[in-house]
Amino acid sequence: MQRSKAWGDLGDLKRELLDLWTEERNTVTRNGSAERMRRYRERKRQGVVCVAQVPVYALDVEMLVTRNRLKPEHESHPAKIVEAVEALVDDFTEGKLVTAGDGQRRKG
């Protein structure tokens, strides 16, 4: 009887170790490449297709700040600039953004 109880305790220990390992594994921070892959897979799941890299110049960044699309403190943060440009494109495609040429369209 004593032996089976000892093995039972070992089973509990295994379960505790597995729980700790699983918890630790879920809280581990991702390195840069793993995070990029996670974002890539999320975009793919959502059906997002990246078609081109768009160069964004200093004047473009200033325009984003001037038009309240980007906070001044985020001017040197590439991820924040990408978010601002993506939001600008989304607004344009949804018809929320008026461009200078919209009032000068020719009729059919």
Which of 89, 34, 33 lies closest to 56, judged by CA?
89
DSSP label at residue 67: T
Whether pTM exceeds 0.75: no
Which of 77, 75, 74, 82 lies closest to 54, judged by CA?
82
pLDDT, tens digit, 9 for 90 and up, residues 6-62: 445 556 666 777 776 666 555 556 677 888 888 888 888 888 877 778 899 999 999
